[in-house]
Amino acid sequence: MYNIAVAGKGGTGKTTFIALVIKALIIKNLKPILAIDADPNINLPQILGITYEESIADIIDETKERLDNLPAGMTKERYIEYRLEDCLKESSGFDLLIMGRPEGPGCYCYANTILRGHIDKLSKNYSYVIMDNEAGMEHLSRKTTRNVDYLFIVSDPSLIGLKSALRIYNLVLELKIKVVKCGLIVNYYNGSLADFPNLKESGLPLCGKIPHDQDILDLAIKGEDIFKLNSNSKAFLEVQNILEEQVFKIQLNS
C-alpha cells in the first residue's frame, strides 16, 4: 500500500490534480484506491462524480449531541467507528472518505484524531491511499498528513505560489513528517515560471509542470466529473508522466 498526499495554497488546482491521479491509477488498473477528502471545503466528491449524505465531521457532531443516548453498552469511540462505515462511498475502482467541516465551534483536533485512526484501519485494504488536504499548512502542523510515501506540493507559476510551496516544504522538514519523497507540481503552466532562486536552493525538486487545459475547465463549467475527460488531454498526459517518473519508477527500484 502506498500513500500519496497533496498540499498547496488555495486556488492552485490541487483537487483537480488529485482527481487526475486517481483517474490515471484506475486506467493503469492499480486499484482498489481509497480517496480521502480531508479539506473542510469539500470539492473532491463533485469532481469524482460522487454524491454524499454525511461526512466524518457530521457524525462527530451528531455523536456530541446524543452522548446520553448512545446504544446500550457502546462507547463514544465505538459508536463513531460504527457510523464511519456510512461515510465510505463506494465507486468503480475507488472508495471515497469525506472529512467535512465541523458545524459547531471548537477544535478540529478530535476529528483529525478519528480520521487518522480510521485511515490506519481502512488503508490495509487498498493499493493506494490518496489524500486531498486543505489549503495552506494547518493540516501539516496538526500532522493530519503523516507517514506519506509521496507528498506533492501544488503551486501555480507565480512568485506568491512558489513562496507558499516553499513554506509548506520547510514546515514538512521542521515537523519531521515522515515523507519518503516530496516534490513540487506547477499547475496552470503557460511556458514561464517565476524566478525564485530560493526554490532552487531549497532541495524541493520540481516534479512536473501541468499545462492549462481548456478541456478540464469545460468539464467544470458543465459540472461533469473527471472521468469524462478525454485521456488525450494535455493535463492528464502530464499527470500520467509525473506518476511514471516520480512514483512507479521509484516503486520498481525500491
Q: Say whether pLDDT at 171 is over 80.
A: yes
Beta carbons of 241 and 207 less than 8 angstroms apart: no
| pLDDT 10s digits, 112-148 | 666 677 777 788 889 999 988 875 555 555 545 557 8
Beta carbons of 139 and 109 less than 8 angstroms apart: no
Give the pLDDT band (50/70/90) at residue 104.
low
Q: Which amino acid is at 80?
A: I
- Residue-range domains of the chain with CATH: 2-253 (3.40.50.300)
| pLDDT 10s digits, 52-94 | 888 887 877 777 777 677 777 788 777 777 777 778 899 989 9
Task: Please give the mean pLDDT across all residues of the chain.
Answer: 84
Q: Taking Cα atoms as reference points, which of 118, 134, 127, 116 lies closest to residue 44?
A: 134
**Residue 71: which residues within 8 A CB-CB, separation 6 or more?**
79
